[in-house]
Amino acid sequence: MFELGFADGWDRHYSKMDSTKQKRIWKKIQQLKTLLKARHLKQSVPIFVVESGQNRICFREKEKAREILFAGNHKQYKRWYSKFF
């Protein structure tokens, strides 16, 4: 079981979504407590991505804790991860 934390500004896009999308994303975030597999943002980068419909959730994992870094749609996700590369 993982402990969840939230980075500053993780909800920049999430807070502007309608409540239906927010509920779906929040449910997926809660699943991150037990989720075993997720894909890497890019090889050798310690950030993982899970999908919830057309939305993406990015997080960093440190031992038994996961920190949510981003939650938003695919277009917002592309802009967010382009900051890293």
Report the pLDDT averaged over residues 31-47: 88
The per-residue pLDDT for 36 is 83
Prediction pTM value: 0.91
Number of H helices, E strands in the chain: 2, 5
Would you state the pLDDT for residue 12?
Answer: 95
Average pLDDT over residues 78-84: 88
Please report the domains of the chain, with CATH numbers, ordered by start residue: 3-81 (3.30.2310.20)
Residue 21's pLDDT band, with cuts at 50, 70 and 90, is very high
**Half-sphere exposure (CA, 13 Å, Cβ side) for 25?**
23
The pLDDT value recorded for residue 45 is: 83
